[in-house]
Amino acid sequence: MGTGKRGLIATAVTVVCAVTVLAAPGTAFAAPSPSPSPSSSPSSSPTPVSNKELEDVRLKLEKLYHSAAIATDAYNAAEEAAEKQSAEIVSLAKKIVKGQEKLAELKKRAGSAAAAQYRSGGLPDEAKLMLSDDPGHFLDSAGRVIQGQRATKGLLGEMTRTQQDLEQYAKDATAQWQKLEAGRKAKAAAQKKIEKQIKAAEQLESQLEKEEKERLAQLEEEAARKAQTAWLDSGVLDDIKGKASAQGRKAVEYATAQLGKPYEWGAEGPKTYDCSGLTSQAWASAGSGIPRTSQEQWKQLKRIDVEDMRPGDLIIYNADASHVAMYIGDGAIIHAPRPGRTVTIAGAGSMRILGVVRPDA
């Protein structure tokens, strides 16, 4: 594979590096298209890909899928924010409609009060007293007029406040709309980045023969097993004795029922999931709503020590909190790993643990 296929994979890996670095939205992805070396002949058998070269491929794939996971969190966050902003806009629109109806009614009442005052003739009180045959009736009428004037003043004040409320609702709705538009752009940019990373990973894997893909899978399993063994050798399980809460058991049951379903970025079930889509839906089924993304789950949920975790708790991975899994006990997790994989059981220490959070703390 020195000048033929090996050069092809080397070129693909190089392009993958460029994609990983230049992953900003809008950057075009150029698929590698090396031409066969003139020195290679159709009859010559390809040189086997070395384990070192496959390990390079594994590391590049890991970086690509990690970048895709970060972009997926950004996409999910933008989608969640858009849902909240849309709901807020609808709520504000309803308030505006009610405010307009109230203002119309207040104006109608104010008009009636003005007409009543006009019909009274607007004479000074002294003149009305002199013209009246019944002073007591006049005084009673005067009292009602004073009350009416106070009511009218209150009516005008309520009209002013209602008008101010309408203006504020309109400003708030405009602000939410602007946020919604910005969120849509962020969501589109994140989607573009996700697709770019996944496409690059798929193209890199497509350069491998069946036997090489099998060896690559073995390298991935070996790396996970090595990390899990080191984690277990630390004696961490000796201190983990927590039992699942009632909600935790329900969340684990939900997650377990999803085993074998495909990973799909941005998905929340019921047929496909991404990592945080699985954990958020599992806990929703247990009656506890939690943030949609792994990064927000890390930020908002109560953090606990690894030694204190129990089944149902969520383990957050990577320094940027870009992956999440559910602990199910005995050092194992259920998670939706990445594109091309299915919901599966793995070792809790097979990836870099950032920390543990508890949804039902």
- Which active-site residues does the annotation give? 275, 323, 335
- Integer-rounded Cα Rg, in Å, for the chain is 34
Q: What residue has token string 């070269």?
A: 53
DSSP-assigned states of every residue in 192-236: HHHHHHHHHHHHHHHTS-HHHHHHHHHHHHHHHHHHHHHHHHTTH
Residue 111: helix, strand or coil by DSSP?
helix
Taken in order 309, 312, 313, 317, the sign of the CA dihedral is positive
DSSP E strands in the chain: the ranges are: 302-304, 314-317, 323-329, 332-335, 344-347, 353-358
Q: Rounded to whole angstroms, how far apart are CA atoms 238 and 67?
A: 34
Q: Rounded to whole angstroms, how far apart are CA atoms 91 and 83?
A: 12
